Amino acid sequence: MKIQIINGPNLNLLGVREPGIYGSESFEVFLPKLQERYPDIEIDYYQSNVEGELINKMQEVGFTCDGIVLNAGAYTHTSIALHDCIRSLRCPVIEVHISNVHQREEFRHKSMISAACKGVICGFGLDSYRLAIEALSPLS
């Protein structure tokens, strides 16, 4: 099984960026732990701050991998292009957020991509990514 994690804008700054909200662990430290936890799943990682590059990556992997775990960052709240892209793919996409966006500013309550995704996981810190992997790898 092959799962692609895709992180959008400013998520390269995890560990440094607003640690009170996003925690103090970088994704580079977190990812190997996640990969170790699921040795039978190939977990690939991509991050970009650029909307079009996220779309290019989704199109590249979205017809061959078994699922995408997408934290689109602030593009979640604005991007019809990401919505359209998710709808175009063959594999399921799980929308993930580290923070509980519904407890935060009003502008984070609306997601442009949720309706195109298989499901949404938010508010569990970096564990949101693990829960999304669980969601993509059912027992049977």
> Is 71 marked as a binding-site residue?
yes
H or E element at residue 135: helix 127-136
> Is 87 marked as a binding-site residue?
no
102 is catalytic: no
> Of 58, 70, 101, 112, which one interacts with ligand DQA (CB under 6 A)?
101
In sequence order, which residues have a C-beta less than 8 Å from that of residue 48 and are 6 or more positions away?
A: 7, 8, 9, 54, 57
**Binding flags for ligand DQA, 2-21, as an x/- string (CB under 6 A):** --------x-----------
- How many residues in the shown chain lie near ligand DQA by CB under 6 A? 10
The full DSSP string for 3-48 is: EEEEE-TTGGGTTTS-HHHH-S--HHHHHHHHHHH-TTSEEEEEE-
User: 65 or 112, CB closer to ligand DQA?
Assistant: 112
Going by DSSP bridges, is the β-strand pair 2-7/42-47 parallel, antiparallel, or unpaired? parallel
109 is catalytic: no
**Binding flags for ligand DQA, 61-90, as an x/- string (CB under 6 A):** ----------x-xx-x--------------
Tell me the binding residues for substrate: 71, 77, 84, 98-99, 108
What are the catalytic residues? 22, 97
